[in-house]
Structure 1
Amino acid sequence: MKSQHIAVAGGTGRVGRHIVEGLLEIKQQYSLEIIVLSRSQSPDISYAGSNAPVVTVDYQDLSAMQKVLNDYQIDTVISTLSGITADDFVTPQENLLRAALSVPSFRRFAPSEFAVNSEQVPSVNLYQMKLPIIRSLRQVKQERPNSFEYSLFSCGVFMNYLGYGNAKPKGHKAHGHMPHFPYTFDLSKQSADIPGDGERQIVYTRVEDVGKFVAAATQLETWEEYNEMAGEVLTMNKVLRLCEDVCGTKFKVNYTSRENLVANLDPSPEKIMMNFFVEFLIAIVDGDCDVKRPINLNKLVDVKPVGVRQYLEQWWG
């Protein structure tokens, strides 16, 4: 059954807000009810002529969450929660699922993935915190095979990082709601620091399109376990050539070997994020970020995502 009453946990944040905006774009067309769950008080979200109330919740309080989900007759929960500790990330998602399972209308859950599928990247410690909720979802599916669905939404690397440093009017919009920093490519300096030989294929998706894909997926009659989306699948060397072509200049390029990447790891990191970006680059070199399954969501929904050249020409052409 299609989703009708949808709660987006963490929907005031980065990826979450784009998913809320994607849902608000289609809210009137499908007569959807959308709420946003947030740990802190925030104003309601308005977009495309529609509105989603922000409801403050305590992810440690199961009964209070259950009441909110029940009051709004939520059938679908989309989690975009983030955190760098189990208390911030693992436990809230588990509690959210437990609360939802006590709500009669509830039948769908999407955990906080929205990158490379976390099961593919064992070397990325931050993503290992995404695994407990996946195990829990599979257990629930075994117990409720005919009345429960879940899906792991994967979108690869956010294309928006290629917009860092552009000088266009309102150039900040290149990032959507994402943070502003360069990832591998810094077009403002005509430089690139590429892991390995640059021949591994990477999924690039604009974060605005992630919101559109997920919103459209709520209107599918059934959810597949894996919903893979892509703006485009390219090697980093191909992206480099596109950047050089659009910018009209050769880039200064550094190829970093796996050995050198490993040498850059902090052997005793105080925080999990200290090694995150290096671990992810190692995962790229190791092929863990390669496309493992068909890019099915592009075929299942009517979303026309922006490609890398189109994005580059918009912000650098």
Structure 2
Amino acid sequence: MQSQRIAVAGGTGGIGQHVVEGLLEIKAKCSLHIIVLSRSVRSDIFFAGSSAPVLAVDYNDIANLAKVLNEHQIDTVLSTLSSPDPAVFAATQGNLLSAALRVPTVHRFSPSEYTHDSSALAEIIPYARSKIEILEPLKQIKAMRGSNFEFTLFHTGAFMNYLAVGNPKPDGAKALGHITPFPYVFDFKNLKANVPGDGERRMVFTATEDIGKFVAAATQLATWEEHSEMKGDWVTFNQIISMAESILGGNILFSQKRSMPSTIVTAGIGGSPPSFTNLYLFIYLAIINGNYEMMRPFNLNEAVGNAVKPITVKEFLERWWGL
């Protein structure tokens, strides 16, 4: 059953706002009712000639959360929640699911994934473990309710927009969309790259704007698979460096550092507790280990067809770093 009345939890955040904008883009055509849940009072979100109200909620108050969802007869809850504290994140998302289950009209729920498959990453990346805590409850609910309940995890790969950090163009800040800067592997402004391993591991990159469009298109699918794999591009780090050097022109060469497991541990991963500060080090280890290449077929690209035409890494680099 297609989604018609949708709540986006965390929809004022980085990736959340892109999801809201993706939905607003198809709102009129698909006759959608969209609400955004936020921890604080915010203005309505306007995009593509449509708008969605932002409702302030307390994620610790399950009864009130359920009341809000019930008042709007929500049938689909999309979680884009995040927190630097894994315990807070897991508890908040668990409360959201508990509230959704109290609402008779809710038949779809998507937890906050928006990365590679967290199940494949949890052994190496501690933060990923907080994302998979909700999977067993979801599977149990699905087993009990059968066709009356669906859930999916949106696997996006890395946000392609990180490749634009430090862009000097007059409108360069727009390249990041709504996400915050994160100098991930590449420093294009200073022609530097801190490459995980030998740079030959493939990684999925998807622009945040396209992620919003993919999620919006997925709400209109008749059925959901448990995993929704999307991609803008699937490339190695060495390929990105080669593309960048060509696009920047002349005899431009990147200064490259190759991070291997031993140097990563020495850099602080060993005795340091997992946090957002050293999260990238754990990600480097997972990339070198091949965990980011454990991808299923890109079923969402196929399922939505021409509804989304994602930008490739080469196209993105040409747009923001081309001369």
TM-score after normalising by structure 1: 0.98
Distance 2:260 2:275 in 1: 23
Q: Once the 2 structures are TM-superposed, how far is the Cα of residue 262 of structure 1 from its aligned partner?
A: 2.1
Please name the residue that 1:294 is paired with: 297
Q: Once the 2 structures are TM-superposed, how far is the Cα of residue 110 of structure 1 from its aligned partner?
A: 0.5
Distance 1:86 1:155 in 2: 20
Check the 8 A contact 2:165/2:181 in 1, yes or no: yes
- Stretches of structure 2 lacking an aligned partner (at least 5 in a row): none
Distance 2:75 2:301 in 1: 24
Please name the residue that 1:231 is paired with: 232
1:263 aligns to 2:266 (yes or no): yes
Equivalent residues in 2 for 1:89-108, closer than 5 Å? 89-108=89-108
* SS at 1:198 equivalent: coil
- Stretches of structure 1 lacking an aligned partner (at least 5 in a row): none
Equivalent residues in 2 for 1:1-317, closer than 5 Å? 1-121=1-121, 122-248=123-249, 249-269=252-272, 272-301=275-304, 302-317=307-322
Check the 8 A contact 1:262/1:282 in 2, yes or no: no
Check the 8 A contact 1:202/1:291 in 2, yes or no: no
Given residue 120 of structure 2, which amino acid in structure 1 is its aligned partner?
A: Q
Distance 1:174 1:209 in 2: 13
Distance 1:84 1:182 in 2: 17
Given residue 220 of structure 2, which amino acid in structure 1 is its aligned partner?
A: Q
* SS at 1:273 equivalent: coil
Q: Once the 2 structures are TM-superposed, how far is the Cα of residue 180 of structure 1 from its aligned partner?
A: 1.8
Tell me the matched-pair count.
317
Distance 1:77 1:219 in 2: 14
* SS at 1:55 equivalent: strand
After superposition, the Cα gap between the structure-2 partners of 1:97 and 1:79, relative to the gap in structure 1 and judged at 3 Å, is same
Given residue 194 of structure 1, which amino acid in structure 2 is its aligned partner?
A: V
Question: Mean Cα displacement is larger for which, 65-74 or 134-143?
Answer: 134-143
Distance 1:109 1:14 in 2: 20
Q: Once the 2 structures are TM-superposed, how far is the Cα of residue 291 of structure 1 from its aligned partner?
A: 4.0
Q: Once the 2 structures are TM-superposed, how far is the Cα of residue 270 of structure 1 from its aligned partner?
A: 5.0
Distance 2:113 2:316 in 1: 23
Distance 1:221 1:235 in 2: 34
Q: Once the 2 structures are TM-superposed, how far is the Cα of residue 258 of structure 1 from its aligned partner?
A: 1.7
Distance 1:246 1:63 in 2: 54
Q: Which 4+ stretches in 1 moved above 4 angstroms?
A: none
Given residue 166 of structure 1, which amino acid in structure 2 is its aligned partner?
A: N
Distance 2:253 2:271 in 1: 38
Given residue 281 of structure 1, which amino acid in structure 2 is its aligned partner?
A: Y
Q: Percent identity of the aligned residues? A: 49
Distance 2:149 2:253 in 1: 52
Distance 1:136 1:305 in 2: 33
* SS at 1:89 equivalent: helix
* SS at 1:289 equivalent: helix
Q: Once the 2 structures are TM-superposed, how far is the Cα of residue 86 of structure 1 from its aligned partner?
A: 4.5
Which structure is higher in helix share? 2
Check the 8 A contact 1:196/1:285 in 2, yes or no: yes
Check the 8 A contact 2:35/2:54 in 1, yes or no: yes
Q: Once the 2 structures are TM-superposed, how far is the Cα of residue 260 of structure 1 from its aligned partner?
A: 1.2
